[in-house]
């Protein structure tokens, strides 16, 4: 390294902190009464679903040919089961409506 000092240094600018700003006198804010909340509107999430209707089996035996998908669905049904329970077992609502229209079961 050389022993020569650089003569081209830039002058530095002094930073001076500005004095704090004066706070204006502010009138105290009057307290207001809270606004009345509007009445709550019921949404789909608030409304409880009606109870699921019960299924009554009118046919003593399976009305469909054994080994078919309809026979498998019929075997999942029980007397007194609700429509929601039947749907959880995998029985389509269209099947339940079709069997009710044919007179093999009663819904409700």
Answer whether residue 74 is part of any domain. yes
Q: Which residue has the higher pLDDT, 76 or 9?
A: 76
* Count of C-beta atoms within a 10 Å radius of residue 75: 12
Average pLDDT value for residue range 65-75: 91
Place 100 in a pLDDT band, splitting at 50, 70 and 90. very high
Answer whether residue 47 is part of any domain. no
Answer whether residue 8 is part of any domain. no
- Burial class from Cβ neighbours inside 10 Å (0-12, 13-18, 19+) for residue 52 reads middle
User: What's the domain count of the chain?
Assistant: 1
Answer whether residue 31 is part of any domain. no
Answer whether residue 91 is part of any domain. yes
78 within 8 A of 105, measured Cβ to Cβ = no
Domain that holds residue 72: 55-107
Answer whether residue 6 is part of any domain. no
Answer whether residue 96 is part of any domain. yes
Answer whether residue 43 is part of any domain. no
Place 11 in a pLDDT band, splitting at 50, 70 and 90. low
């Amino acid at each position: 390294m050389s022993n020569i000092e650089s003569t081209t240094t830039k002058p530095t600018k002094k930073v001076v902190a500005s004095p704090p700003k004066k706070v204006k006198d502010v009138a105290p804010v009057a307290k207001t009464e809270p606004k009345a909340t509007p009445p709550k509107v019921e949404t789909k999430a608030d409304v409880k679903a009606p109870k699921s209707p019960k299924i009554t089996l009118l046919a003593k035996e399976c009305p469909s040919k054994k080994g078919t998908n309809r026979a498998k669905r019929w075997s999942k049904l029980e007397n007194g089961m609700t429509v929601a329970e039947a749907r959880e077992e995998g029985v389509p609502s269209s099947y339940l409506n079709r069997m009710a229209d044919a007179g093999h079961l009663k819904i409700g």
